[in-house]
Homo-oligomer: A and B are copies of this chain.
C-alpha cells in the first residue's frame, strides 16, 4: 500500500471504525479459553497486538485476561468505538440499550439464536433492530464471528485485529472476504498460511440484520487495501442492487463467490444456519454471469482463485492471450496438465521450428521441445526454472507458463548426505543459487512481459522450498490439478479486463 492509498482509506464509511477501532468493550469473555467461545475471541484480539484500549464487561470478575473488568458498560471511562457482544441472545436487547445510553455507535453481535431458530428468534431480531434504530447504532451480525483485519495497523506487518475464534491468521494482503458463514471466514486460515493466500480482511457477517453484504461490498469497493474480493453467500437480500454494485466492482476488483444454496437439503441447511432463504441456482448463475463474478462450489478452488487474482492484481500481471507453455521434468504431469489446459478451452500450441531448435540445444536428445518441453531427468534446475521460461517469454509464442519440477532441494541433499554421499559446498549452494538466480529475476520478467509463470511440484506445502517460493511471492502449487484451472480463471478475467492485444 503506498502513500496515496493510505490517504484514500474510506474513513467516512460507517464500517471503518468497526474494522479499525481505537477502543473496544467486550461482553461475554472470561478467563476460560476452552469452554467460553468469547474468551478465545478476546484472547485473539489481544494476541493481534491491539494497541487501543480494551474494556471487558463482566458481572462478577474484576479482571479478564489481564484487563480491568467493569460491571457495566456505563462505568467505562470513555465511550468505546466498538462493542463486541458474545452473550446469550435474550440479554442482547438490554446490553444494547446500555451501549446506546453510553453512546456506542458500532457493535459486533456474535450470538446465535435469532431468526435461524424460528419464531422466537424473529421477534428478538425485530427488537434488536428497533434498539439499533433508536440509538443510531450499526452492528455486524448477529450469529457471526466478527472480523479479521490484517491492516489494522498498516505500518506494522504483524499486527491485526481478529475477533474470530480461530487463533491463526494468514499473512495480510489484498484479498478481502465477506462471508455469511464463520467457517469460510476463518477456518480457511491454516490453508491460507500454507498456500500463501494473502487475506487482509475477512468478515463473518452472520444474519445481516443491520449491515448487509452490499454494505461490505461498497466498503471493499472504496478500500485501497482490497484488490480481490471473496464472498460466501447463502442469500442476497437486495438482489438488483447487488448486481448493479458488483458490476461496478468487477472491472477493477475481481470477485470470487461460493453460493451454498440452490439444492433442497442445502436450503434446509442454510435456513437452520443463518435463517436465509437461498434461492434457485439458475438465478444465482445468471447473476454471476451478468456481474462477471467467478463462482465455485469448491473451497480449495475458492482459495486458489483468490490467490491467483491477488497475485495478478498486486503485480498488474494479466494474460494477453490463451496460449500456455508447459515446461516439465516429468512426462506424466506434463501430459495431464496439457490435457486439462485444453479441456478448459486454452491452447497449448506446438512451438515454431525456430523456438524448438533454440530449446533443443539445451536439453538431452531424449527430451522434447514441442510444447510441453519435457527435459526428462535433468539436474539443471536453472534451465528448468529460468532459462526455458525466459526463452518462451522472449519468443512471444505463449501468454503464460507452467513449470513442473519444484522439489525441496534441502530435503533431497539431506537424504543424499544421510546415505553416505559427500555434499560439497557447491552442491549445498544449489539452493542459494536458485534463490538468487530465479526468484527475483523471474518476478521481474513476469512483470516485464505481463506473463505469469506458475511453478508446480509433487511435494506438500509443508516442505520448506514451497514456502520459499511463497515468501518470494512466486505462485507455487503442491500438485498439478490447480494450476491449469487457475490459468483459466486468470485468462477469463484478463480478457474481461481488456488486457488483450
With A and B bound together, what is the CA distance between A273 and B265 in angstroms?
Answer: 46
A216 to chain B: which residues have CB within 8 Å?
Answer: none
Contact between chains at A339 and B183 (CB < 8 Å): no
Contact between chains at B66 and A420 (CB < 8 Å): yes
Count A interface residues, CB 8 Å. 96
Chain B residue nearest to A458 (CB atoms) is: B187
Q: Within 8 Å of chain B (Cβ to Cβ): is A191?
A: yes
With A and B bound together, what is the CA distance between A273 and B338 in angstroms?
Answer: 12
The verdict on A260 contacting B342 (CB below 8 Å), with A187-B330, A460-B191 known, is: no
Q: Within 8 Å of chain B (Cβ to Cβ): is A232?
A: yes
A47 to chain B: which residues have CB within 8 Å?
Answer: 419
Contact between chains at B332 and A263 (CB < 8 Å): no
Contact between chains at B37 and A260 (CB < 8 Å): no
Q: Count chain B CB atoms within 10 A of each CB in A46, A299, A377 and give the residue with the most.
A: A377
Q: Count chain B CB atoms within 10 A of each CB in A167, A301, A335, A420 and give the residue with the most.
A: A335
Q: Within 8 Å of chain B (Cβ to Cβ): is A179?
A: yes
Contact between chains at A33 and B460 (CB < 8 Å): no
Chain B residue nearest to A459 (CB atoms) is: B190
Q: Within 8 Å of chain B (Cβ to Cβ): is A151?
A: no
With A and B bound together, what is the CA distance between A180 and B110 in angstroms?
Answer: 54
Contact with B along A371-409 (1 / 0, CB 8 A): 110101101000000000000000000000000000000
With A and B bound together, what is the CA distance between A467 and B234 in angstroms?
Answer: 33
Q: Count chain B CB atoms within 10 A of each CB in A332, A338, A341, A370 and give the residue with the most.
A: A332
A3 to chain B: which residues have CB within 8 Å?
Answer: none
A287 to chain B: which residues have CB within 8 Å?
Answer: none
With A and B bound together, what is the CA distance between A244 and B161 in angstroms?
Answer: 62
Nearest CB on B from A86, distance (A): 10
Contact between chains at A331 and B181 (CB < 8 Å): yes
Assembly of this chain: how many copies?
2
A427 to chain B: which residues have CB within 8 Å?
Answer: 34
With A and B bound together, what is the CA distance between A339 and B479 in angstroms?
Answer: 26
With A and B bound together, what is the CA distance between A46 and B418 in angstroms?
Answer: 13
Contact between chains at A458 and B66 (CB < 8 Å): no
Q: Which of A7-56 contact B (CB under 8 A)?
A: 31-35, 37, 40, 43, 46-47
Contact between chains at A343 and B462 (CB < 8 Å): no
Contact with B along A333-374 (1 / 0, CB 8 A): 111101111110001111000000000000001101011101
Which of A91-99, A112-120, A132-140, A445-453 is the interface stretch? Answer: A112-120
A264 to chain B: which residues have CB within 8 Å?
Answer: 342
The verdict on A368 contacting B273 (CB below 8 Å), with A181-B331, A342-B263 known, is: yes
Given contacts A191-B479, A269-B326, 18 further A-B contacts (CB under 8 A): A43-B419, A89-B366, A116-B366, A182-B330, A182-B332, A183-B332, A187-B333, A264-B342, A265-B338, A265-B349, A266-B339, A266-B342, A269-B374, A272-B368, A274-B331, A297-B336, A299-B481, A300-B479
Q: Spell out A's residues near B (CB within 8 Å).
A: 31-35, 37, 40, 43, 46-47, 65-66, 89, 112-113, 116-117, 165, 167, 179-184, 187-188, 190-191, 194, 232, 234, 258, 260-266, 268-270, 272-274, 297-301, 326, 330-336, 338-343, 347-350, 365-366, 368, 370-372, 374, 376-377, 379, 412, 415-416, 419-421, 427, 458-463, 478-481
Q: What are 20 A-to-B residue pairs whose CB atoms are below 8 Å?
A: A34-B416, A65-B419, A66-B420, A113-B366, A181-B332, A182-B332, A187-B332, A232-B332, A261-B335, A264-B342, A265-B350, A266-B335, A269-B326, A269-B339, A270-B331, A270-B335, A272-B372, A272-B374, A273-B374, A460-B461
